[in-house]
Amino acid sequence: MRADRLESLVTFHPFTRLNKLLEGIAPGGGNTPLLLQLGEPQFAPPAFVAEEIAKAAAGWSKYPPTAGNEAFRNAVKAWLERRYHLPATMLNPDKEILPVSGTREALFQIALSAVAAGEPRGKTKVLMGNPFYHSYAGAAAVAGGEPAFLPADRNSNFLPDISRITAAALDQAALVYLCSPANPQGAVAPLDYLKQWLELARKHDFVLAADECYAEIYPDAPPPGALEAARELGGAVDHLLVFHSLSKRSSAPGLRSGFIAGDAKLIARQAQLVNYGGVAMPLPILAAATRLWQDEAHVAENRARYRRSFEIAQEILGPIFGEVRPQGGFFLWLDVGDGERTAVELWKQAAVKVLPGGYMARAEADGKNPGARYIRVAVILEPDEMAAALRRMAPVLEGLVHGKSAKAAAGGR
Ligand SMILES: Cc1ncc(COP(=O)(O)O)c(C=O)c1O
């Protein structure tokens, strides 16, 4: 049983699968390869990051405290209050905010503790939308939980469809992962929808893990967050953890820096996991992170960059796909008919690497993988570089989607 669980980590790891798919295929078209398969923004974080790290260099000789420090927790609390219009009395920074060394680690660990806590009461299910960020299913498998994949397709605006979940499944749930803006589809959960989930978490006693790492990347209005849902429901944060990261907001995935906020009992539990087998945030990183959460200028600049890139994407890909701009986040989620074949052809003909959508989803009851028709393209280059990449991709996509040869689709150029 355990071996199967570990095996599933290899079988379903999206990037391992992609490497295998493209193994032995030369990137073609005489082009320099462009890597758009990974959500790794290629923009420089603000210069003050390096300055703060240098200033706090004495911290390299210390084991950092799991809870971080007061300056960090207060910066996060102030940011959450500004971003989500929370009253100052809502969050206790000492008990309800914890730094995490990247949210991937924390999202993984929450399954370990939630399933362990739920098991004696028969609560071992870990629910997630389908498609989903791969870490959720890996965590469920390693935790000994039972992953359950909720349809999240066009019919439910690409959000997990609450109407299709039984009360029995919710009673057996230890944990529900909810991602908004969603990776990969870019769907934004409305406030009422978030409230519904939080009410369900309380009624059926499961942990609601709201993964909001794309919360700062949006075209117009800021996406609502689960802490706003908690505020609307009276201000308590029991059963809820929100996950925020500097990887996307500040284009600093190498910093490995984020935080979780919410239920004090769950925060304490998570801190214990870090004490045993996790990574507390190094003090120089904590100093840089504190400054980043206090600064909005670089985030606004990033947003403008994404807005420009998505306008370009719309100009270039609109004639093939119609509307391609997501509600939030930085992925294009394109219905190409056959995601694997398209990923191979884009690599072979245009030297552009993208992720087949099926690698982020599992087959549902009807045996169909809801991601199989799609590719996910990470819009993570500067707008002019992104324009060049998309122009390279368009004729190949046109050919595959509308059955034209790439040469004809490019106007014979
Ligand atoms: C949906 C989602 N959640 C969490 C993460 C992890 O981010 P990090 O560990 O860099 O904070 C990612 C990274 O791609 C993601 O796409």
Q: Is the CB of 180 under 6 A from ligand 1?
A: no
Atom 12 of ligand 1, nearest CA residue: 104
Instruction: Report the separation in Å between the CA atom of 178 and the middle of ligand 1, taken as the mean of its atom positions.
Output: 13
pLDDT tens column, 241-251: 999 999 999 99
Is pLDDT above 50 for 199? yes
3-state secondary structure of 72: helix
Backbone Cα Rg of the chain: 21
Residue 95 class from Cβ within 10 Å (0-12 exposed, 13-18 middle, 19+ buried)? Answer: middle
Q: How confident is the model at residue 4 (pLDDT cuts 50, 70, 90)?
A: confident
pLDDT band at 1 (very low <50, low <70, confident <90, very high): very low
**Segment 342-361 mean pLDDT:** 97
Confidence of residue 8 (pLDDT cuts 50, 70, 90): confident
Residue 104 CB–ligand 1 contact under 6 Å:
yes
What is the pLDDT confidence band of residue 149, given thresholds at 50, 70 and 90? very high
pLDDT higher than threshold 80 for residue 408: no
Q: Is 245 a pocket residue for ligand 1 (Cβ < 6 Å)?
A: yes
Q: Which helix (H) or strand (E) holds 254?
A: none
103 lines ligand 1 (CB under 6 A): yes
Mean pLDDT of 33-47: 93
Nearest-CA residue for atom 14 of ligand 1: 39
Strand order in the sheet with 374-378: 331-335, 374-378, 355-356
DSSP E strand stretches across 31-145: 34-35, 97-100, 125-130
Residues 361 and 371: beta-carbon distance below 8 Å: yes
- Ligand 1 atom with minimal separation from the 39 CA: 14
Q: Which atom of ligand 1 is nearest to the CA of 40?
A: 14
CA 235 → CA 175, 179, 231, 279, distances in Å? 21, 21, 4, 30
Amino acid at position 83, single letter: R
pLDDT value, residue 412: 39
Contact call for residues 372 and 357 (beta carbons, < 8 A): yes
DSSP assignments along 134-188, one per residue: HHHHHHHHHHT-EEEEEE-SGGGTTS--GGG--HHHHHTEEEEEEESSPTTT---
Token couple for 245: 């990261």
Above pLDDT 90, what percent of the chain?
Answer: 91
pTM summary value: 0.96
In the reported structure, the alpha carbon of residue 213 is separated from the centroid of ligand 1 by a whole-number distance in angstroms of 6
Of 153-167, 250-264, 328-342, 372-386, give the lowest mean pLDDT range: 153-167
Say if strands 240-245 and 374-378 run parallel, antiparallel, or are unpaired: unpaired
- Give the pLDDT of residue 213: 98
Overall average pLDDT of the 86-110 stretch: 97
Residue 335 pairs with which residues in a beta bridge?
374
